[in-house]
């Protein structure tokens, strides 16, 4: 999230050590409250600014702003697949698999393949992209993720996953948003993870390895798109609903998970604006990251740094992360 002179902030991770093991984990989002910079602006101007303020998922952010504004003006938008957001989700997943994952596994980034895949995506050449996803190098990377050692991944028993929600069903759980909820969102009083893994929770997960499961879920979403197997509820799904007079909410499924915007109007101006981003779900203070780290051997800090990098990549924040030792 860049632009407009706003620092995108970071996810700050602080680790405490006792007797050579991680005894305390603090996960704090230090992202700025961008929505607050929109208060008082003309509503259409504010909605137009939103995609310029976010470097990642700009199309999803912009669409969420537009749908929330329309809902605040009384227009409902039932859940549907938005082609532009779908493309953005696929592009983000391709970036992760072709550029970010290979170096983690000691391989060179697949830059040429990524550029070609982007062309096929823009042209809707699903069959051609499907051929790339069958590349032996990608198949081998998936196998290596599954075969990760204890120092490279962690066995996960259970994870609280956010269910599939559209704007209308979200109202039953959160009648209105406030600043506190935007900072630390919760599902039935608990932290919950969103994203590709959550969207595929009704499918069999091929591994109990936590990091591998999240990478493979992204890959399966790529295969769904390439095979025209996506449907409402997949990445790229968008919806909106009026909450009250002059108040509207939009829910959009981005690459990283559910994004929610809620706009409150005062005439033609923004009276209040709330954004609940996937990173706040996935890097919640009581989310999965702390569970993965508590109790691990902290004597080799270089190895721990590498493990944290793998953990953060699995959850995929939309801003940088920083590690501090207490």
| Closest to 277 measured CA to CA, from 16, 50, 48, 19 | 50
- Higher-pLDDT residue of 169, 53: 169
Q: What is the mean pLDDT of residues 280-309?
A: 95
pLDDT for position 4: 45
- For residue 2, name the pLDDT band (cuts at 50, 70, 90): very low
pLDDT digits (tens, 9 = 90+) for 263-291: 999 999 999 999 999 999 999 999 999 99
Q: Identify which of 177-186, 203-212, 222-231 has the greatest average pLDDT.
A: 177-186
- For residue 3, name the pLDDT band (cuts at 50, 70, 90): very low
pLDDT for position 171: 97
To the nearest whole percent, how much of the chain has pLDDT over 70? Answer: 97
- Higher-pLDDT residue of 95, 150: 95
Domains of the chain by start residue, with CATH: 10-325 (1.10.645.10)
Residue 219 CA to residue 196 CA, distance in Å, equals 9
Residue 77 CA to residue 102 CA, distance in Å, equals 39
- pLDDT value at 318 more than 70: yes
At 78, list the tokens.
């039932």
Q: What is the mean pLDDT of residues 175-180?
A: 95
pLDDT for position 6: 61
Residue-wise DSSP of 47-113: HHHHHHH-SSSHHHHHHHHHHHHHHHTT--EEEEE-HHHHHHHHHHHHHIIIIIHHHHTT----HHH
pLDDT for position 326: 85
pLDDT for position 1: 37
Number of Cβ atoms within 10 Å of the Cβ of 155? 9
Q: What is the mean pLDDT of residues 154-165?
A: 88
- pLDDT value at 110 more than 90: yes
Q: What is the mean pLDDT of residues 67-78?
A: 98
- pLDDT value at 255 more than 60: yes
- Higher-pLDDT residue of 10, 159: 10
């Amino acid at each position: 999230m860049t632009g407009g002179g706003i620092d995108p902030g970071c996810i700050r991770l602080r680790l405490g050590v006792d007797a050579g093991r991680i005894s305390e984990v603090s996960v704090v989002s230090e992202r700025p409250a961008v929505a607050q910079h929109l208060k008082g602006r003309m509503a259409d101007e504010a909605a137009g600014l939103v995609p310029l303020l976010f470097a990642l998922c700009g199309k999803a952010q912009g669409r969420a702003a537009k749908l929330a504004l329309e809902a605040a003006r009384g227009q409902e938008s039932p859940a549907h697949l938005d082609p532009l957001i779908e493309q953005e989700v696929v592009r983000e997943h391709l970036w992760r698999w072709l550029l970010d994952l290979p170096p983690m596994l000691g391989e060179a980034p697949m830059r040429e393949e990524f550029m070609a895949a982007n062309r096929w995506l823009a042209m809707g050449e699903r069959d051609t992209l499907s051929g790339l996803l069958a590349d032996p190098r990608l198949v081998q990377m998936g196998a290596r993720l599954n075969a990760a050692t204890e120092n490279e991944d962690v066995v996960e028993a259970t994870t609280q996953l956010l269910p599939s929600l559209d704007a209308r069903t979200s109202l039953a759980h959160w009648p209105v948003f406030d600043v506190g909820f935007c900072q630390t969102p919760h599902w039935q009083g608990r932290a919950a993870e969103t994203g590709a893994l959550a969207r595929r929770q009704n499918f069999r997960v091929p591994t109990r390895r936590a990091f591998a499961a999240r990478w493979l879920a992204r890959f399966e979403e790529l295969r769904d798109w390439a095979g025209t197997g996506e449907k409402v509820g997949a990445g790229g799904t968008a919806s909106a609903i009026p909450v009250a007079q002059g108040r509207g909410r939009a829910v959009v499924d981005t690459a990283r998970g559910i994004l929610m915007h809620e706009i409150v109007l005062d005439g033609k101006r923004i009276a209040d604006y709330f954004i609940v981003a996937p990173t706040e779900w996935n890097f919640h203070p009581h989310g999965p990251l702390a569970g993965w780290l508590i109790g691990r051997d902290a004597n080799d800090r270089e190895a721990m740094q590498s493990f944290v990098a793998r953990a953060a990549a699995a959850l995929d924040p939309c801003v940088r992360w920083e590690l501090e030792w207490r």
